Chain A
Amino acid sequence: MGAPGTIADLKRLTGGAAKETWLFSARIGGESVPLVLQLSTPRARLSPDDALAALPRVVGKDDAAMMVAAAAAGVPAPPIRAMLAPDDGLGAGYIMAFVPGETIARRVLREPQFAPLRARFAEECAAILARIHRLDVAALPFLQPCGAAEQIALYRRVYDALGHPQPVIELGLCWAERHQPRGRRAAVVHGDFRLGNLICGADRIAAVIDWELAIVGDPVQDLGWLCVKTWRFGGPAPVGGIGTRAALLAAYERAGGMAVDPDDLRFWEAFGSIKWAVMCLMKGLEHRRTGKRSLEQLAIGRRMEEPLHDFLELLEGRD
């Protein structure tokens, strides 16, 4: 990172079970550089036979390598500035450049300054996703193959382990088993590409963050996830609350992505709702594992019916 400096204005940005993000300024030689420290907490507290441990996660140096590869391919991703070493005493993690912009979905959806981005949001997402999906899988050997079939089995295992019967989830998993897209695809998939994980400028996406759910699988997964109603944040249109599915698919193809069967898109959107419902259930029951209740976790537990409702709507042909 150059000459030694001092750290100022250290501030925690987000808190999650899986990681910690800190914003700080490095004062190096009279200059103040805003940086972000990303710490990945080891997945402690999970016993190896815990189904939750089976969810693939990209952490630490792999997470950084993922972003370096993405940036090299022209995907907007935060530049990595330094990797943490064991004698830094902070565990696994890295330091990246602070990318200014907006991550709060409601603001991107509603504030006038983001109108230029909204006008081309589906196209912007499609172009970025097409680049991500063309990344060389062989250069990212830490990414786990996790196609539709693996994910359905994985979420079923997690759901079963939680021991909280929910017939719509059961229906959703059985439906997903029967309607999964044919044929295997092996592209790099971001895994959580949606508002909230996009640092937005007025007229473009400045950076794609939160790569820890990246896998090798069906690229249509990212397109479908972007359309899941939860990630529309109250916006009226399917793609992130802003764009149409047709615009997304057309732009994706123009940007070099494959021609997407709308039924495959719908599968990933519907199965995405079921995945989010299982995650809500997982969050809502997390206190059983940690022995600690939190307001946010209990509140997320009560969000489970939102995606279940959306799944049933999709099943009956409404969106």
Chain B
Amino acid sequence: MPLSLSPATEMLETVRGYLETTILPELEGERWFNLKVACNMLAMVERELALGAESSAAERARLAQLVGEGGTLAEMNARLGRAVRVGEIALDDPRLLEHLRRTTADALAINNPRWLAPQNGRRNDRLSAP
């Protein structure tokens, strides 16, 4: 990738800012809701660009300790899942729980940082129907 302007994170932030401040107030109902969801998703992508690589590297390092090196992150997670299922790793193994707690927290730092706050805020009721 050539070092061209503008950085992806800045473009996303600017696009999202435009949508939120200029377009969103013009809309209502379903279109307002969908654009609001879209802006939330752009914010997630921004946070993923900022934090994702480091989180994944840390996850991979912890997974290697638990189930050995090799394969993609998805394959390593599949190995860990199997190890938990067949009982190779105990459900209350502190290393397992610490790994899962950190991996989940790192994902939330990207997907919905407010969930980690003591009294979490919810984005929108309408995202919740099963």
A residues with a Cβ closer than 8 A to B are 14, 16, 104-106, 165-171, 174-175, 178, 192, 196, 213, 229-231, 233-234, 236, 276, 279, 295-296, 298-300, 302-303, 305-306, 308-309, 312, 315-316
Contacts and interface: CB of A to CB of B under 8 A. Distances in A.
B107 A16 contact: no
Contacts of B38: 295
Nearest to A164: B74
A276 B130 contact: yes
B28 interface: no
Contact of A170 (B81, B105, B107, B128): B81
Given A295-B37, A295-B41, A299-B40, A312 B104 contact: yes
Given A170-B84, A171-B91, A299-B41, A305 B127 contact: no
B125 interface: yes
A303 B111 contact: yes
A236 B91 CA distance: 29
Interface stretch (B2-10, B14-22, B93-101): B93-101
B101 to A, nearest CB: 5
A309 B105 CA distance: 7
A251 to B, nearest CB: 24
30 contacts: A104-B125, A105-B128, A106-B122, A106-B125, A165-B77, A167-B80, A170-B84, A174-B85, A174-B91, A175-B91, A178-B91, A196-B125, A196-B129, A213-B130, A229-B120, A233-B128, A234-B120, A234-B121, A234-B122, A295-B37, A295-B41, A298-B41, A299-B40, A302-B41, A302-B112, A305-B112, A308-B104, A309-B108, A312-B104, A316-B97
Given A196-B125, A234-B120, A234-B121, A305 B107 contact: yes
Given A234-B121, A306-B108, A309-B115, A168 B100 contact: yes
A315 B94 CA distance: 12
Contacts of B56: none
A178 B116 CA distance: 28
B44 interface: yes
Given A165-B74, A167-B100, A312-B100, A300 B81 contact: no
Contacts of A236: 119
B23 interface: no
Nearest to A300: B127
Contacts of B91: 171, 174-175, 178
B39 to A, nearest CB: 10
B61 interface: no
A244 B91 CA distance: 29
Contacts of B80: 165, 167, 170
B65 interface: no
Contacts of B85: 170, 174
Q: Which 5 pairs between the two chains have the least Cβ-Cβ distance?
A: A165-B78, A170-B81, A305-B107, A234-B122, A165-B77
Contacts of A14: 129
- Most A CB atoms within 10 A — which of B78, B104, B130? B130
